[in-house]
Amino acid sequence: MTKQLFIATYGCQMNVYDSARMAELLAPLGFVQTQTPESADLVILNTCHIREKASEKVFSELGKLRALKLRKARRGDGRMLIAVGGCVAQAEGEEIRHRAPFVDLIFGPQTYHRLPEMVIQVLRANGAAVIDTSFPEEPKFDHLPSSRPEQGVTAFLTVQEGCDKFCTFCVVPYTRGAEYSRPVSQVLDEARQIIEGGMREITLLGQNVNAYHGVGPNGEEWGLGRLIEALAALPRLERIRYTTSHPRDVDDALIAAHRDVPQLMPFLHLPVQSGSDRMLTAMNRRHSVDDYQRIVGRLRAARPDLALSTDLIVGFPGERDEDFQATLDLVGEVCFAQAFSFKYSPRPGTPAASATSQVPDSVKNDRLARLQDVLAKQQLAFNQACIGRTFPVLLDKPGRYPGQLVGRSPYLQSVHLMAESINIGDIALVTICAASQNSLSGTIAR
Ligand code: 5AD
Ligand code: SF4
């Protein structure tokens, strides 16, 4: 008998990957995914703990789910299991149990391969919740299904997980655990499955993806550059991307891959967090502003059309006006095609959360608004500079209007076009004719 599964995914792309694998794991138990939670038999919230806002969302969602669960039971429509997975579950499993005792299952990012057992256990347990937020000795990847049945144009592939860097603001080393790289053969096998399913693009994922150091077929260690070269040798894979990387792990082989591998897209997300050395030290980033600029210079020398994206934090404890100005200066010098900027959010258990020099919220708001204003202008300028250029666009979904398709440029911009003789999954040469801050539109090049 089929049962309905609803998964809500929050946070980063690693969670998107994990949610897809959870659905695959549960399929043998008869679970089929549905787009709404109302009549689901199992609802999974795959959560994010990176900032306070993301975390709090979980508890407000749980309030709504509780009402649905009661309604379903009153209808005599069976039991709705509620599961909380991901990083909030890992960090606040006990808190969830106390604040939301109606939750049936709590599991972390490293234990979801045990979901089928946990679901069976909770169904048998008749009410008692099951919690598993351990960090197992054996990596979950060794226990995930080997097939990747999902269809589409572009796929995520987690190759690395966890982080040993301990930036003082960040919960990742605590929620995802220590750095781990999947063996090369496992990655290549999964990539082949993805390509066989018809996908044209793979984005390699990891919290610190360029710290990748997987065991190669002969027992030697492979870095990300070498892995990208091997992926590029697989027939029919048109595009490769990777995210998120750390400036300290950009090595010569990775820079060489940007120069030598045409399938590696000329767009790189390289978080810098701040333009002030004083702040970078306090954040334990272990690189200077100058290091970052030198890396960007080397990457751009290797691949002159490379566009960059970044993450920035304002209002980190102790940030003064001159530190913030240094961030604006760096942004002005590098010129980002895209950027994500955040107000510093103190996270329980991280070193910076207990610093005495917290920045008032009003100052954070002001700095964020000023920074975002500059970033928005840079993004618009980058997009406008694309007008008149022709580049390959991977079409990945229908647009809002009949006959319209939407795709991605090499720089990950959304490109809208009207097209008759092309299909989703095609890579079309498109000449860009208009640009806004968030998207481009174009016509098929003749
Ligand atoms: N407060 C604000 N932003 C944060 N990030 C990580 N932790 C915090 C925090 N405590 C941002 C960083 C990181 C991105 C994924 O989220 O910029 O690169
Ligand atoms: Fe967090 Fe720093 Fe690790 Fe990135 S490198 S996941 S910001 S601790």
pLDDT of residue 144: 86
- Residue 6 near ligand 1, beta carbon < 6 Å: no
One pLDDT digit (tens) per residue for the chain, 446 residues: 799 999 999 999 999 999 999 999 999 999 999 999 998 999 999 999 999 888 889 999 999 999 999 999 999 888 999 999 999 999 999 999 999 999 999 999 999 999 999 999 998 877 678 888 988 888 888 888 877 777 789 999 999 999 999 999 999 999 999 999 999 999 999 999 999 999 999 999 999 999 999 999 999 999 999 999 999 999 999 999 999 999 999 999 999 999 999 999 999 999 999 999 999 999 999 999 999 999 999 999 999 999 999 999 999 999 999 999 999 999 999 999 999 999 999 999 999 999 999 999 999 999 999 999 999 999 999 999 999 999 999 999 999 999 999 999 999 999 999 988 889 999 999 999 999 999 999 999 97
Tell me what pLDDT residue 247 has. Answer: 98
What CATH fold (topology level) applies to the domain 140-384? Answer: pyruvate-formate lyase- activating enzyme (3.80.30)
Predicted confidence (pLDDT) per residue in 107-150, tens digit:
999 999 999 999 999 988 776 788 889 888 888 888 888 777 77
Q: Is 160 in the pocket of ligand 1 (CB under 6 A)?
A: no
Atom of ligand 1 nearest to the CA of 311: 17
What is the best residue among 87, 205, 207, 283 to mutate for testing ligand 2's pocket, by most ligand atoms within 8 Å of CB?
Answer: 207
Question: Tens digit of pLDDT for each residue in 376-411?
Answer: 999 999 999 999 999 999 999 999 999 999 999 999
Q: Please tell me the predicted confidence (pLDDT) of residue 381.
A: 98
- Measured by CA distance, the residue closest to atom 2 of ligand 2 is 167
Pocket test for ligand 2, best of 50, 172, 180 (most atoms within 8 A of CB): 172
Distance 158 CA to ligand 2 centre (A): 16
Q: CATH 2.40.128: does it fit domain 390-444?
A: no
Residue with the nearest Cα to atom 9 of ligand 1?
Answer: 345
Q: What residue ranges do the domains of the chain occupy?
A: 3-132, 140-384, 390-444
Compute the residue count for the chain. 446
CA of 372 to the centre of ligand 1 (A): 15
pTM for the complete prediction?
Answer: 0.94
Which fold is adopted by the domain 3-132? Rossmann fold (3.40.50)
